Amino acid sequence: MHRCFALKSTAAALATVNSPSSTPSVQGTETTESSREETPESSWSRSTTHFSPTFDLTREYTFALQTNSYKEIWSKIHQIHHHSGDLSTPDLLSQLLQPNRSSVEEALRDATPGNLTRLACAYFDYSEHTSNLCLRLHRIIDCARSMYAPVHELLEQLPLDFDFITQTQQQCDWAFDVLLQFESLDNPFPNPDSNSNSFNDMRRCLAQMKLELDLHLHRSRKKIRLFRGATTSSALCLIGLTVGVAATAVGIAAHALAVVVAGPLFAFLPIHFTKRELHHIAQLEAAAKGTYVINNDLDTIDRLVARLHAAVESDKLLIRLGVVRGRDKYPIQEVVKQLRKNQPNLLHQLRDLEEHLCLCCATVNRARSLLVREIHLQQTRNS
């Protein structure tokens, strides 16, 4: 059950794979178990595989955890948090984000001002905020582990079949003090019902951006269809004119004039206008795919955080009921037994959240890399 929300979220993404601008959130998977090398293009290609009843979500999730991008993010995040006391938040993000803010600013320096550039800037900002949110949540996981460390040490020291009746008063006092201290601490995980929920704010921004991107994609594709239709109509008119007037000198002259007038138009529209629109579409699609997947990952993380918040609150309530009668052995004994039962599930949930934070950061980096690549390609072709 500890991966329930992750697999459901992945299944929901795959179910919408036929949408033109939708990409599911199974990221960074490879074609063989022996080869874990990946590129942004291969990752997106694999993530758009058509869903079938035989699709193994657990296998895909396992593959995602074995990719080079995931391992690199996992290593970076743990190194960052190990040395985080000497680094500011921008420095932490600079180490985690690839491409980082300076690389993105350099790519956008020569971009033509307009809606496309504005959306690209907003997209990079939102993706950076997402990575920052993942870093903050990873710190919260560390806080939760520190919070539970005395309780878990207590569970390890006490035998599985312990009975406080046979234990010394010193052990009973130790258990009581540990539980009382835990109950006095605040829940490190944010309340999902809070008005200041960062997940809701970020998902709302990403959803709005997705609507804008889809609207611009629709308009750009419509322009392509219109001008291709106009080009085709011009070609058919020229063919009809050639057949109808080929027998007369006047017709031949008219045909020559039509070629002189319509020829440049025929050449101009598909080469200049259409290619420019196709470049815009490529950038819009890269941003739309990234927005969809990041938003989907945030939804999964939000669910995992909500579960952990509820688990901590449940343990605090359980302990509160146990210590309310003071150092009474019997209720404390029952609390310890229940905490022992809850411990494996809590550890699984913490591990799941940690994995999904790393997967989300890897997704952000792939999405940023794809959009920067499309921007560089357009600049290269225009130069």
Place 14 in a pLDDT band, splitting at 50, 70 and 90.
Answer: very low
Q: Token match 């795959």: residue?
A: 14
**Which residues have CB under 8 Å from 367's CB, separation 6+?**
127, 286, 287, 289, 290, 291, 293, 294
For residue 41, what pLDDT is reported?
52
Interatomic CA distance for residues 12 and 210, integer angstroms:
17
| 125 has a pLDDT exceeding 50 | yes
Query: Which pLDDT score is estimated for 307?
Result: 96
**Token pair for residue 317?**
């309530």
How many angstroms separate the CA atoms of 271 and 302, rounded? 46
* pLDDT confidence of residue 359: 94
The residue to which tokens 């680094």 are assigned: 87
| Span 281-298, pLDDT tens digits | 889 999 999 999 999 999
d(CA 266, CA 130): 46
Supply 204's token pair: 């709302």
pLDDT, one tens digit per residue, over 313-352 is 999 999 999 888 888 888 888 899 999 999 999 999 999 9
What pLDDT, on the 0 to 100 scale, is given for residue 163? 63
Q: How far apart are CA 157 and CA 182, in angstroms?
A: 17
Q: What are 174-218's pLDDT values in tens digits? A: 889 999 999 999 999 999 887 667 778 888 899 999 999 999 888
In this prediction, residue 18 carries a pLDDT of: 37
Q: What is the mean pLDDT of residues 264-283?
A: 63
Q: What is the mean pLDDT of residues 74-86?
A: 72
CB 217 within 8 A of CB 185: no
Q: In this predicted structure, what is the pLDDT of residue 329?
A: 81
Q: What are the pLDDT digits (tens) for 22-79?
A: 333 333 333 333 344 455 555 544 444 444 555 677 888 888 888 888 888 888 888 7
Q: Which amino acid is at 174?
A: W
